Amino acid sequence: MPRPPLVSDEELIDRLSTLFRNAGYEGASMARVAEVTGLGKSSLYHRFPGGKQQMAEEVTRHLQRTFADRVLSPATRLDLSVTVRLRRIAANLRSFYGAGMCACLLETLTVETISTRTSEGIARAAGAWTDTFAALSREAGIAPREAIARAQDAIARIEGALVLARATGDTRAFERALRSLPVALTGATTDDTRSKQ
């Protein structure tokens, strides 16, 4: 009769995700992994035969799912206006990133040397986020190509605000990025650089 695991798979990947997000790939040493999960190293290699690389891959997948569920899910609430949906997404982003004080895997995992599989996962996550924002922008009447540009620009502003917050401790740019999200994706703009491209 197989022995039940001390820590459920759900719990395990959840704690791993938190660690990888805040410490990055190289900062998340096996010692710290063992510490935050309460498991010995051998147990971890039993659950992740591929070692740290496999952990990074599964963390990437898990955070992408979590992001879709806990952040982007209002995007498909067709009963709400696009603006209201974006306001809800902004609120979700605020809590997901701890009001600007939490890092994003896009930033922490792209600095370090990681496997091709993991960086492909990161690229896919960025793509999914962009697609969601672009779809909302199109739904608000923005032309397809400009919708993609607006989506990328909005995400860039959010990510950059997180970088700035980590560097300076000032989270106001993050707050403004969230506040301006509905306008950035749906509103009129004085920025004529997009149409010229």
Partner DNA sequence: GTCTATACGACGATAGAC
Partner DNA sequence: GTCTATCGTCGTATAGAC
CA atoms within 13 A on the CB side of 117: 11
CB of 121 to DNA, least distance (A): 17
* Secondary element (H or E) of residue 48: none
The secondary structure of residue 69, as a DSSP letter, is: I
Picked from DNA, a copy of itself, none, the partner binding residue 45 (CB below 5 to 8 A depending on kind) is DNA
Candidate residues 15, 18, 22, 53; the one interacting with DNA per rule CB under 7 A: 53
Distance from C-alpha of 14 to C-alpha of 17, rounded to nearest angstrom: 5
Site for a copy of itself in 123-142 (CB under 8 A): 123, 126-127
CB of 125 to DNA, least distance (A): 22
Q: List the x/- string, 121-140, binding to DNA by CB under 7 A.
A: --------------------
CB of 135 to a copy of itself, least distance (A): 17
Q: Which amino acid is at 60?
A: T
Say if residues 126 and 159 touch (Cβ distance below 8 Å). no
Candidate residues 1, 2, 116, 196; the one interacting with DNA per rule CB under 7 A: 2
Asked if residue 77 binds DNA (CB under 7 A), the reply is: no
Give the chain's end-to-end CA distance (angstroms, integer).
64
Instruction: From residue 129, give the alpha-carbon distance in Å to each of 72, 132, 195.
Output: 8, 5, 22
Residue 184: strand, helix, or coil: helix
Say if residues 36 and 20 touch (Cβ distance below 8 Å). no
CA atoms within 13 A on the CB side of 94: 16
Picked from DNA, a copy of itself, none, the partner binding residue 3 (CB below 5 to 8 A depending on kind) is DNA
Candidate residues 61, 96, 140, 160; the one interacting with a copy of itself per rule CB under 8 A: 160
Picked from DNA, a copy of itself, none, the partner binding residue 111 (CB below 5 to 8 A depending on kind) is a copy of itself
Asked if residue 62 binds a copy of itself (CB under 8 A), the reply is: no
Positions that interact with DNA (CB under 7 A): 2-7, 26, 28-32, 38-43, 45-47, 49, 51-53
